[in-house]
Amino acid sequence: MRLHGTSCLVTGAASGLGAATAERLAAGGARVFGLDLASRLGAAPVVDGVTYVPADVTDREDIRLAVARAADTAPLRVAVNCAGIGPSARILGRGGPHDLDLYADVVRVNLVGTFTVLVLAAECIARTQADEDGRRGVIVNTASIAAYEGQIGQAAYASSKGGVVGMTLPAARDLAQYGIRVNTIAPGIVETPMLDSVSEEFRASLAAGVPFPRRLARPEEYAELVAMIVSHDYLNGETIRMDGALRMAPR
């Protein structure tokens, strides 16, 4: 699938992986619509070819409008789900049991939000004209290696990301008849603002645990993988770990 002359939608585009992806897709010739919470858009980088749209992935109307806006300029071909939150809490912590509303919030943003964007983007992509090979578009989701090796305090986050991994194959199967591929990236530890609260010392210890390369991943490496998935017609229904062979320990 070629990017030139298409429209792409990226959620969580004001920061980290989403920002790098929006920039990469725009550099590839796409017209990119970068969605994020209105409160976060002030901090979004100014990038040629990227239009920012305030949208909360937990709000269906926001996403419906953003999809329509993206499709207005050029055929929507790509949707990338990067919006996410990663709070940590133990099931039985010092302050009491896990906040059940927090659990529901994490699942609502990371899992239900991803599914909402996938469904509404797929509906729009399915209405476009297929190319000569029957291709219409690609959806890329973001899970985490926590889907497989959730650490202490990650029950909510790992549940939400496990759901994203789980939806990948059935979504690809459902959408195959429309020429839409669905893949998921499960990153290890990427140097993004999500790690801002982590001390330099802890960051170094995280990097030391990565077999090779012995460092944290860069957002640009994630964005490059998105571009590869978009261009590679035979990648479908798969979750790809991008983690330098890291396997997380319990803590």
C-beta of 119 vs 194, nearer to ligand NAD: 194
Q: Is 86 in the site for ligand NAD (CB under 6 A)?
A: yes
Q: Catalytic residue, from 52, 103, 157, 222: name it.
A: 157
Task: Judge whether 157 counts as a catalytic residue.
Answer: yes
The burial of 250, by beta-carbon neighbours within 10 Å (0-12 exposed, 13-18 middle, 19 or more buried), is given as exposed
Q: Is 246 in the site for ligand NAD (CB under 6 A)?
A: no
Instruction: State the DSSP code for 236.
Output: -
Q: Which of 144, 154, 183, 236 binds ligand NAD (CB under 6 A)?
A: 144
- In whole angstroms, the minimum distance from the beta carbon of 36 to ligand NAD comes to 5
Q: How far apart are CA 47 and CA 56, in angstroms?
A: 21
Q: Is 218 in the site for ligand NAD (CB under 6 A)?
A: no
Q: Is 189 in the site for ligand NAD (CB under 6 A)?
A: yes
Strand partners, 35: 11, 53
C-beta of 7 vs 15, nearer to ligand NAD: 15
Half-sphere exposure of 118 (CA within 13 A, CB side): 26
Site for ligand NAD in 10-49 (CB under 6 A): 11-12, 14-18, 36-37, 40
Region for residue 79 given its phi and psi (left: phi exceeds 0; alpha: psi -120 to 50; beta: otherwise): beta
DSSP of 133-170: TS--EEEEEE--THHHH--TTBHHHHHHHHHHHHHHHH
C-beta of 144 vs 183, nearer to ligand NAD: 144
Q: Which of 7, 154, 192, 236 binds ligand NAD (CB under 6 A)?
A: 192
> Rounded to 5 degrees, what angle do the CA atoms 125, 130, 133 make?
130
One-letter amino acid at 237 equals G
- Show which residues are catalytic: 157
List contacts with ligand NAD (CB under 6 A): 11-12, 14-18, 36-37, 40, 56-58, 82-86, 109-110, 113, 142, 144, 187, 189-190, 192-194
